[in-house]
Every structure is written in C-alpha cells, then in structure tokens.
Chains A and B, each alone.
Chain A
C-alpha cells in the first residue's frame, strides 16, 4: 500500500472528496435553496447565473445536484452495507460451514440469483411498497446474492489455503484459525467489494428513483431529478444531462477506487 498514487487514483479520490463535501456541507458549494422555486426563471439553459440551468419550476439545477449528493451517497452506502452485511452472513456461513450448510446456503443464493439485478428489487418493492427506505433495502437485497457468492468462494479458498493447513499442523483450534487466520485474510477483499458495491448501489438506487419507486420529485436526489427531466427531454436537455453526470462521476470514482484497491491488495499478497 506504500506505492505512489497513480493519476487515475488521484482523480477518483478527489471526486469522492468533492462529493463528500457536497454531502456534508452543501452550503459551501452553493448558497441557493435546492427547493426554492422561481417560476420566472423556469427552463433556463446553462449560463453564468445558473451553471447547469434551471428546471420547470425555476430551481437551480447546480444547487440541486450538489444537495442531491447527500441523499444519493447515503442511499448508496446504506444499500451496500445491507447487501454486504447479508452477504457476509450467507457467504461466511457457507464458507466455513460444513457440506450441508454450504449446500443449503448455496441453493438459497441460487434462488435469489434467479431474479437477476433489478428484478429482485422490483419484486421486493411490489411486496413492501415504494419509497426511499424500501428502495434502499431492495437494492441491498438485490446485490447480496452476488456478493455472497464472491465472499463464499473467497472464504473457501482461504480455508483450503496451505497456510491454514499449516495452522492445523501447528495445533491451532478451529476458532483460533477462524479469528486469527481466515477472517483477517477475508476482510481486505470484502472491503474492496464494498467500495465497488457503493458505485453499483448508487446506479441502481437512482434507477429505482427514476422509475418512480424510490425518492420522488421534487426531492433533490439525482435519480428523481432525472425522472423529472424526462418529460422535458426534448426541450430542456440540461435537466437530464447534469444530474446524470453526477451519478456517473460518483459511481465511476467508487468503482475506480475499488479496482485500484483490489490491484494493490493483490500486489501486497504476491
């Protein structure tokens, strides 16, 4: 982890830092009110006064994008925590459990897998009803089987690794092996997975908002902003383009950071 940061990593970290500032103290980046309507200023294209233009009620889109960071990031992080948390339960249990446990849990994740991606999230929302909370849980739930599969195979691989066998030869008890050898080695990959997952969760959660199942306009949330822009796509392109760029930047930076963390842990272990 000591080697110098590459340019791509610096860009990714800077982007995430900027988003963090926007999420924690949006007032630093824009002094306008994200919900303040001004009908006289509706549908203004990007200009010096309104960098990203204005929406149908004359709200400043730049301000709304900045304020949207908080909702989008929180949803992304919470959904990832839910997804990874569930996956850890399933994956670690399947990874360290006996054949029976592994078989049963693998079948469970196969069943969840049969409804790929958003389909599982949609079924969950159909049952639990739409809203920010349920769409966040839905994204977590929908991502969990994929993570569980990765975590399971990682724990299995570590459990079968020669260095774990070496611990058996040294007379270590199973509990000791689990807490001192297997889990510490599994944590770094899970951390990487979570970083990658935040990017995916932001994209999926904003998709649900766009479909009208998560955050609802006029809330300043990127997916909801895009949903509002959909009606005016032929005339006010800026309502669609700028919130979308925010999503791409946030998710892209998280993914890029996750990948470079992955490469670095690989190098350390090599």
Chain B
C-alpha cells in the first residue's frame, strides 16, 4: 500500500482498543421466533472477527442489527451494544444516520445489486461524503478519486463516471468498498463480500480487506465459507440457528473444533481432500441396505471399468461462436476436445465466462457446434438431426445449478420422476415402485413424492434433480455447477451422494464447476478452461501437484482452503 492510501484509509483509533461490543443480541420479526437468539462478541481495532454460518443462521440479520437496519417489523434487544465508548441502544433515527457510514461501514454481498445501477459509482461514493462532511462537490470529487486509487481501481477518473453494470465484478466490489470506507469508519462490517466473485478476484478483494485491518480498521467478516474467513479472521464465531455455537481464535476453531457443527463445517470443505473421502459427517450412509434391490432389478449399467475401454463420450475440436449484442463475434468455445471414460469423472473448471456451460450444452446437443463433433458410445452424436438423436437421449442425463427452474412448476416430485422414468410403458404400479427406488437412492423420504420441488429445501431439490437424471438409467450425467447454490454442509452431502451413485451404477460424470476445490475432490482427471480454450488437462492429482499453466497456478493459489 502506498503512503497516500495508508493515510487515507487508517481510522484514528489505536490498535487493540475495543471498537464494538455486543452483549446478548436478540432479534425477532413480528411474533416470529428469535432469528438471532442472544449472541455476544466484541471487536477491537485492527482485528478481524469472522462470523461463519449457513443460510438461515441469522448472520446477516445480526450484521444489519448492528447498524440499526434489521428491517421492518424487527424487534431488536440487547443487554448492551457499544461502539467504542458510546452506547447504540435507543438512538434516534437521525443519530443512527450520523453513525452509519461515518463510524460503521457496511459492505453487502453482490456489488452489482448493492450499487444503484442507474447512477455512476463515483456519485455513490461521493454520497457518503455529502452526508457526513461539509466538502464542496469539487472536493468530494477529488476525494472520490483518492478513495478509488486507494482501493486499487485502475483508471479512477474513468471508472468514477461508469455505472456498476459497466464494471467487472471485482472492480464493482472495490467501488462498493470505497463507498463504505470513505469516512474511515473504525468498524467495517462485510456481509459475504466475495461470494459472487471468481476465485482469483476473490483473492484480490480479500487482500484489500486485509490491508484495511492492517491499517487499524476493525473488520466483522460474515461468510458462509470457512475457507474465506480463515484467510482474514483473527477470531472466528460459528453461528447456527441464531446462536453462536463456538468461538475462539481461528487456529483453535480449525484445529481443535469443540462443537459437532463446527466439525461438520470443517469436514465439508472439499479443497485438497482426496477423491473418495467422505465430506458429510452427520448424515447416515446415503445408500442403505435396500440398494441391492435397486441394483438387481435394473438392467445392467456399464460396470466401473478401467479407462483403457472405449470412451463413452468423446468430443473433438469443438468450436462455438456466438454473436454478442454489439454484433461482434465471440468464441465461447474454442477448439475444445475431451474424452469421458466409463465410470470415471472428468472435471471441468473455469471462472465465469470461460465457456464451460457452453461445453455442457454442446455435449448435451442443446447447441450445435460450429466445428468439431461429439461422439456418444462410439457413434456420431452432434452431427445427427434431433429426430435421430432423440431415442438415444436417455443415455445422457443432466443436473443444473438451479434445479428449481428446471422443474415444470405444475408437477409434483412423483410426476417429475414418473415422467422422466417412463416412456409411456408400464403400469401405475411399476411407476410407483420405480419412483420409490429413485427417491431411496438419492436419500429422500418417500413423503416428498407428493410435494412440489418449489416447497423443498435447496438440498432436497438438488436430490430430486439427481433422481430425475438417474431415472432413465443413463450411463453419463453432465453436472453443471450442481452444488454452487448450496450451503457447504448440504454441498458435502450432495457430493458424497454423487460419488456413491457412481460407485453403485458406474455412471460417468462430466463435473463442471467454478470451484477448483470441489472439482479437485470429485474428478479423476481435470480440464482447466479459460476464455473458451482448455489451458490445462491431466490427471487431477498431477495437475494439483505441478500445474503446467500459469493460470492454473493462479487458480490454485486463489482457491481458499483450510
């Protein structure tokens, strides 16, 4: 950090001074249950406290309560809530407004929606100065440039005039951070500040936050991702269902977790865990004794076999060009070849915009390649007309990132699975048995059969999606970001389930994800994609051990791990 930026960014509080002290914070909405149920912590200057929890743990409500913005209908109570020497209990709205932005900065997840899409980002940053200083508009403009420079924004003059939609994810997040630290607040609350970002960009933003704590800001970092928190936090509090179940120094929490929930969180992180090791601790084995019945009744799948056998899916030199809205051509997929062997998992990792989803769509023949061919079980696939492909479609299944959109909203789970399993033949009785088998094999209770997927939890929904993919007994399943929308412990269960099913049925997976850790845990071999091209390929272990391409090394370095 340069001298100027250091002076710009450091608040006037000595390190180690308590800046925030929360005792027995309780929040509920209307007559609902306690969303936050008596949590206490304190934060000192220059310290980073990480709050880790999954969705619904109450961590975001906690963050908002600390700036008096818990939301409409919220009842917030505390024994005490202090900012430095000052109590924040029972403040008038005008007093709160003087504290927000000036004494406590707040950074929200997803800068795209956290910055007004209709206003230049410079104006958003200047707003903080307009509210809390008497600077003239011109002086605010100068200060905005300084702030943008300090958060590492290239070409700040240009960027200040752009709107958030015109900036990349990383630059947007920097602009949001600049608006939060414009007044050098001694406390900064960051709620999932890197969740929407690619790994390499995430690393840069975390680095920026680390600089802020180094210069004396107290940082409250809220995240679902233990691996992210670990990189910054001095201390960690683990939150579940409105309570802090465990708190301690980062090292203590990671190395000697006391609480079961903390342990399951740690176990769920796939990064650097060898293939085959189970990630979910709490859940019972997903395939109970009944699996034998399922296996014997079904017609035989290809057994797990060595890669020397014929590939099940083979793509040679695929290229797909799209026309962008401004009429230029974009090579979404550029000369991509891949081979999927029976019973194996091929991982495909890449950041947003790398073309990995287009690859999946080409393999599923939802798009036609401009060049190159896809071969399925040794026979042509992509060059055929759809009518000739249709009867073979059942050999290949697909699982998507957002399962809820992939279900016909009118259908129940049972109807979805019956529809996927049957080609019209077989009686009702047979269908019911098959649905029961499928639910059983993905670990869903049979009472879910009458629900609509919209009413299930995210994890259950993804299990239904897996059951649907399994229903036609395919040899191949294309998994496109199948766990990105899930909490870590649920992600662990789903990943374990996918591995179990592969063992059981010998299915081949193409596993696509932006998360190198997840792909590394799941795959036998690995492809790294960037800008439509495959920059690295090889055995997963070998790639992790000695990446050949510079980009892979950067991805590896950026991947948060425990």
Contacts and interface: CB of A to CB of B under 8 A. Distances in A.
Nearest to B472: A170
B12 interface: no
B396 A169 contact: yes
Contacts of B364: 169
B454 A168 contact: no
Given A166-B468, A185-B410, A269-B409, 20 more contacts: A162-B400, A163-B406, A163-B407, A163-B408, A165-B406, A166-B406, A166-B407, A167-B408, A168-B393, A169-B398, A170-B393, A171-B390, A171-B391, A171-B392, A171-B472, A172-B390, A173-B387, A173-B390, A269-B454, A270-B454
Nearest to B391: A171
Contacts of A270: 454
A162 B405 contact: yes
A166 B410 contact: no
A185 B406 contact: no
B95 to A, nearest CB: 39
19 contacts: A162-B406, A163-B407, A165-B406, A166-B398, A166-B400, A166-B407, A167-B408, A168-B366, A169-B364, A169-B366, A170-B472, A171-B391, A171-B392, A171-B394, A171-B472, A173-B390, A181-B408, A185-B409, A185-B410
B208 interface: no
In this complex, the member of A163, A167, A173 whose beta carbon has the largest number of chain B beta carbons within 10 angstroms is A163
A1 interface: no
A167 B468 CA distance: 11
Nearest to A267: B454
B397 interface: yes
Nearest to B361: A165
B394 A170 contact: yes
Contacts of A268: 409
Interface size class of chain B, counting residues whose CB lies under 8 Å from the partner chain: 20 to 34
Contacts of A161: 405
A184 interface: yes
A180 to B, nearest CB: 8
B413 to A, nearest CB: 14
Nearest to A165: B366
A268 B396 CA distance: 31
Given A168-B366, A269-B454, A184 B394 contact: no
B420 interface: yes
A161 B389 CA distance: 21
A229 to B, nearest CB: 48
Contacts of A181: 408
B416 to A, nearest CB: 9
Interface in A11-44: none
Nearest to B424: A176
Interface of A: 161-163, 165-173, 181, 184-185, 268-270
Contacts of A162: 400, 402, 405-406
Contacts of B397: 169
Nearest to A168: B366
B101 to A, nearest CB: 35
A118 B162 CA distance: 44
Interface in B383-438: 387, 389-394, 396-398, 400, 402, 405-410, 419-420
Contacts of B409: 163, 185, 268-269
In this complex, the member of B392, B402, B405, B408 whose beta carbon has the largest number of chain A beta carbons within 10 angstroms is B408
Contacts of A184: 410
A191 B408 CA distance: 19
A267 to B, nearest CB: 10
Contact of A185 (B387, B402, B408, B454): B408
Contacts of B402: 162
Contacts of A173: 387, 390
A86 to B, nearest CB: 26
A181 B406 CA distance: 12
A226 B364 CA distance: 63
B363 to A, nearest CB: 11
A173 B423 CA distance: 12
A252 B463 CA distance: 45
A213 B409 CA distance: 45
In this complex, the member of B364, B409, B419 whose beta carbon has the largest number of chain A beta carbons within 10 angstroms is B409
Shortest 3 CB-CB contacts between residues of A and residues of B? A171-B393, A162-B406, A269-B409
B406 A170 contact: no
A172 B393 CA distance: 9
Contacts of A165: 366, 406
A165 B365 CA distance: 11
B204 to A, nearest CB: 32
A66 B387 CA distance: 59
Nearest to A269: B409
A166 B387 CA distance: 16
Nearest to B396: A169
A222 to B, nearest CB: 39
B458 to A, nearest CB: 14
A170 B410 CA distance: 18
A160 to B, nearest CB: 11
Nearest to B409: A269
A270 B402 CA distance: 13
In this complex, the member of B364, B402, B406, B454 whose beta carbon has the largest number of chain A beta carbons within 10 angstroms is B406
B420 to A, nearest CB: 6
Contacts of B393: 168-171
A179 to B, nearest CB: 13
Contacts of A167: 408
B466 to A, nearest CB: 13
In this complex, the member of A166, A171, A172, A181 whose beta carbon has the largest number of chain B beta carbons within 10 angstroms is A166
A163 B405 contact: yes
Contacts of A269: 409, 454
Contacts of B387: 173
Interface string B426-455: 000000000000000000000000000010
Contacts of A172: 390
In this complex, the member of A168, A172, A181 whose beta carbon has the largest number of chain B beta carbons within 10 angstroms is A168
Contacts of A168: 366, 393
